Structure 1
Amino acid sequence: MRASARAHSIDELRALAKRRLPRAVFDFFDGGAEEELTLAGNRAAFSQHHLVPRVLRDVSRVSVDTTLLGKRSALPLAIAPTGAVGFGWRGGDIAIARSAARYDIPYGLSTSATASIEAIAEHAAPSRRWFQAYVLRNRAFTDALIERAQAANYEALVITVDLPVGGKRERDFRNHFAIPFRYTARNVLDFASRPRWALAMLLHGVPEMSNLRGLDSVANNANATASSVGRNYDPSFNWNDLERIRARWNGKLIVKGIAHTDDARRAVSLGADALVVSNHGGRQLDAGMPALAALPAIAAAVGDSVEVMIDGGVRRGSDIVTALALGAKAVLIGRATLYGVCADGEAGATRALDILRDELVRTMQLCGIASISEIGPHLLQQ
């Protein structure tokens, strides 16, 4: 039996990943900014809401499919763009994308992934592919990334707007963790403590962020911190620049990192097709409000004009139901499948989706709900 098959929750997959990875690598994926208040707040926000079940309803059959961006999705869920996955599991980006394709849900590829735009299109077909673009100081480089995604038939472009500078991720500083790796006595001992992980790195070489190949400030700066991509983000990027991207991109446009209603309305006015209420998983601004707390006001502000999604802190099927009841069309998950793939590769990523789907169905049945369309604010304690 594979290790991931013994996991019955996302937290158990997290524990497996923690045992397999060096501390520095695990903390890079698991950690947040500064005191990690926002990271903890994302998770804690779900405990502030309580579902009110209805009984004696026929829930012998439950439908969990929905539509996202005008196409069917087998779950109200998409994979959030997550960078540097290959440092946790060789080929991890493709493994997660294949799991998403198996589940018929969208997969978001990060600019800072360890698989290229083209490799995902080639090896993870027929997945629904979204490309998340960081707007870097080198605007021509960003434009070229977007053109590559267009040529590879990605259906949506995700522009992340909550990263004018990189967050202060203190776990990485304490662990001497950097990308590219900066070897010190501390982290060499850490890496050596996980010989199977280290052997894979030695045999196949340290992964690179394939989409950033040629961006000298990332590829060649040996002192770059783990948030080096954030430090190459253009802090001057503004609404006019977003409008320019909207005009250049022929597909659906998703704006990710919205927390304020005024920003939500403005993004819609510029032609966004969907919004993601997000604080970057607690990895940027610490003490920011939990994404779930920001969701209801944003959903009310934009109404049915666009689809509103949310990420941050989703670990249970009941979390998905709560988010939908508060106005989300779907949730994005990053760490859940990341823990799975770091624990057990593609099997682990698929196990994460298995767990969430099973919990979603079970929660709906226990609430007396037979379809996603029935989920609404009436399910929550008022």
Structure 2
Amino acid sequence: MSEQKKKEIKINTAYPSVSDLRTKAQKKIPKFAFEYLDGGCNEDVNLHKNTSEIRKVELLPSYLSKHCGSSMKTELFGKTYDAPFGIAPVGLQGLMWPNAPEILAKAAFEHNVPFVLSTVSTSSIERIAEITEGNAWFQLYHPTENRLRDDLIKRAAEAECPVLVILCDVPTFGFRPRDIRNGLAMPPKMTLKNILQVLGKPHWVLETLKHGQPNFETLKPYMPKNLDLKQLGKFMDQTFSGRLNEEKIKPIRDMWPGKLVLKGVANEADAEKAIQLGLDGLIVSNHGGRQLDAGESTIKPLSRIAEKYGDQITVMMDSGIRSGPDIARSMASGAAFTFMGRSFMYGVAALGKQGGDHTISLLKTELQQVMEQICCEDVRDFKKHLIK
């Protein structure tokens, strides 16, 4: 049995679902960190709709057909991955579990699936590129200054990131009541309530002491030293302008040598603009239900966009996917590839260094079972099994 095959079946049987990992994660990390990870915006309507509406999608099994085996291998932007899912960009990863981005990047590399590093995560472009041997993607929050934009893009190119992801669904930060109550910032505001939460999570404390206070490592070269919380908030507000438009995307397309993907697409008009601007792919997403509570769940615009534009641009999806069957449902609805953020963070928060490997292995195992059950030999054929 090959080493890769061993990884695919190595699952901690105490946690056979992402739901189990979420329950364990809630017990392992401070409340303010868990609520940042777990929560949506406003009343969490879209957060819950994302998953519940994915799960309304039904697949048709085929039990008497000839079956020659199922393969999860998926070609995306000229590279063949071992499964049709990757790790989505997540901010403040090291706050939720120390060293989380490095743990997840290593697991993604070993399992041959993509890892996407956020601009505001807690490891640098260069460190993640080293771990993944230049296979990690980079997600750019659009800076207000062209100088900073150009330098971040240059660093991503020098790190040999094959794909640059630009974010369009954060023109403003979502209104998140939990984070407001918790005084969440980087580093977190140490109120008496938060200190008591930390003292109740000794493993998290020990790992934080071991790896050091989390910081925005990619942004360190541009940040004044010794910022207090108010100064840090002001720096972030002044440094980034989340609202994208055609004029901001065009120069990025001109200077970026690799594949360029637009993340946060939620309607056909923006998908058509992405095609006109020469982008290589788009990720249908609503930021995990963290931006617009009154919007659609992701599965609805995905189906429309994939049907109308799937032959012109690579259409992917994130937000709400929590399991192998969810991946299958999303691909049957038109996604060429899928990404998950919370699922992997639950895994790392629950199981530490083993969390990335376990979560990828779990999702691979679940997806393989679905493929064999419905007699789907190739991930491109999921659409044939969609019950409309």
Give the TM-score of the pair, scaled to structure 1: 0.93
Q: Distance in 1 between matches of 2:237 and 2:368?
A: 37
Q: Secondary structure at the match of 2:136?
A: strand
- Match 2:80 to one of 51, 69, 72: 72
- Secondary structure of the residue aligned to 1:256 is strand
Indicate the residue corresponding to 2:318 in structure 1: 311
1:113 pairs with 2:116: no
What does residue 267 of structure 1 align with? 274
Residue identity opposite 1:381 in structure 2:
I
Once the two structures are TM-superposed, the CA of residue 44 in structure 1 deviates from its matched residue by: 0.9
Identical positions, percent? 35
Q: 2:59 aligns with which of 51, 65, 68?
A: 51
Does residue 157 of the first structure (1) align with residue 154 of the second (2)?
A: no
Alignment-mate amino acid for residue 175 of structure 1: N
Unaligned runs of 5+ in 1: none
Instruction: Determine if the alignment matches structure 1 residue 174 to structure 2 residue 181.
Output: yes
CA distance in 1, matches of 2:203, 2:310: 50
Superposition deviation, residue 224 in structure 1: 7.5
SS of 1:375's equivalent in the other structure is helix
Aligned-partner Cα distance in 1 for 2:87–2:208 = 25
Matched, 1:34 2:68: no
Q: Is the 8 A contact 2:98 2:204 kept in 1?
A: no
Taking only aligned residues, the RMSD between alpha carbons, in angstroms, comes to 2.2
Residues 11-36 of structure 1: CA distance to partner in whole angstroms, max 9, x if unpaired? Answer: 11111111100110011111111111
AA partner of residue 358 (structure 1): T
Give the whole-Å Cα distance in 2 for the aligned partners of 1:218 and 1:234.
Answer: 22
**CA 1:203–1:356 in structure 2 vs 1: closer, same or farther (change >3 Å)?**
closer
- Render the CA deviation track for 1:230-250: whole Å, top value 9, x for unaligned: 785315531111011100101
Equivalent pairs counted in the alignment come to: 379
State the shift of 1:212 in Å.
1.6
2:372 counterpart SS class: helix
Residue 40 of structure 2 is aligned to residue 11 of structure 1: no
Q: Secondary structure at the match of 1:131?
A: strand
Is 1:286 aligned to residue 289 of structure 2? no
Contact 1:85 1:114 in 2 (8 A): yes
- 2:30 matched residue in structure 1: 22
Q: How far is 1:202 from its partner?
A: 3.6
Distance 1:228 1:69, change over 3 A: farther
> Structure 1 residues 98 and 235 mapped into 2: Cα distance closer, same or farther (>3 Å)?
closer
Q: Is the 8 A contact 2:141 2:242 kept in 1?
A: no
1:360 to 351, 360, 367: 367
Task: Indicate the larger mover: 135-144 or 245-254.
Answer: 135-144
Change (3 A) 1:176 1:303: closer
Give secondary structure in 1 for the equivalent of 2:240: coil
SS in 2 for 1:106: coil
Q: Is 2:385 the counterpart of 1:379?
A: yes
User: Are 1:298 and 2:305 counterparts?
Assistant: yes
The change in CA–CA distance for 1:258 and 1:36 in structure 2 (over 3 A counts) is same
Classify 1:113/1:202 alpha carbon distance in 2 versus 1 (closer, same or farther; 3 Å): same
Q: State the distance in 2 between where 1:365 and 1:237 align.
A: 42
- For the pair 1:196 / 2:203, whether they are aligned, the reply is yes
Contact 2:11 2:361 in 1 (8 A): no
Q: Which amino acid is the alignment partner of residue 379 of structure 1?
A: H
Alignment of 1:127-276 (within 5 A): 128-216=135-223, 220-223=227-230, 232-235=239-242, 237-276=244-283
Aligned partner letter, 1:103 = H
Bigger shift: residues 227-236 or 253-262 = 227-236
Kindly state the Cα deviation for residue 219 of structure 1 after the two structures are TM-superposed. 7.5
Q: What residue identity is the alignment partner of 1:16?
A: K
Distance 1:56 1:116, change over 3 A: same
SS of 2:52 mapped into structure 1: helix
Could you tell me whether the CA contact under 8 Å between 1:314 and 1:333 is conserved in 2? yes
> Is the CA contact 1:172–1:226 (under 8 Å) kept in the aligned structure 2?
no
Partner-residue secondary structure (3-state), 1:6: coil
- Worse overlay, 174-183 or 41-50: 174-183
> Post-superposition shift, 1:205?
2.7
1:102 matched to 2:110: yes
* 2:129/2:135 contact within 8 Å kept: no
| Unpaired stretches in structure 2, ≥5 consecutive residues | 1-9
